[in-house]
Structure 1
Amino acid sequence: MVDSFKELRDKVTWPKYKELQNSSTLVLIASVIFALVIFMIDKVFENAMNLYYSAF
């Protein structure tokens, strides 16, 4: 455990606050875009299935 603490204290480079903010914002935006793409794909498939099943 002492080795782990020494490694965290001496060898790990921690991001600056501004860099952390930028990365978090990028992840948030990418997640929203990804969710919107999945939503649109789901709606396309839903409409296709409704169209298919209404034909019978």
Structure 2
Amino acid sequence: MAKFVNYISEAFQELKSNVTWPEWAEVQRLTIIVALFSVIFALLTFGVDQLFVKALEGFHNLLR
């Protein structure tokens, strides 16, 4: 158990001293970029899904 506690302690110490954290403005900018990309990707996925639905409906109607 002591090894685990030591590992966690060293991990926090490394996060405090060795990690370069981004500025708040950069975090906000990148968050907006990720949110916009996620919305665009969701809309594209929805569009492709609707395209496949129409294609399968057309194929199904041909088989009738």
Fold agreement, TM-score > 0.5: yes
Q: What is the aligned residue count? A: 56
- Report the equivalent of 2:25: 18
Question: Shift of the alpha carbon at 1:6?
Answer: 1.4
| TM-score, normalization by structure 1 | 0.92
What are the equivalent positions in structure 2 for 1:30-49 lying under 5 Å apart?
30-49=37-56
Question: Shift of the alpha carbon at 1:35?
Answer: 0.4
* Structure possessing the higher radius of gyration over alpha carbons: 2
Residue 61 of structure 2 is aligned to residue 54 of structure 1 = yes
Structure 1 gaps of 5+ residues are: none
Q: CA RMSD in A?
A: 0.8
Question: Shift of the alpha carbon at 1:53?
Answer: 0.6
| TM-score, normalization by structure 2 | 0.81
Distance 2:47 2:26 in 1: 32
What SS class does the counterpart of residue 20 from structure 2 fall into?
A: coil
Distance 1:51 1:40 in 2: 17
Distance 1:2 1:31 in 2: 36
| Percent identity of paired positions between Structure 1 and Structure 2 | 36
Q: Which amino acid in structure 1 is aligned with residue 35 of structure 2? A: L
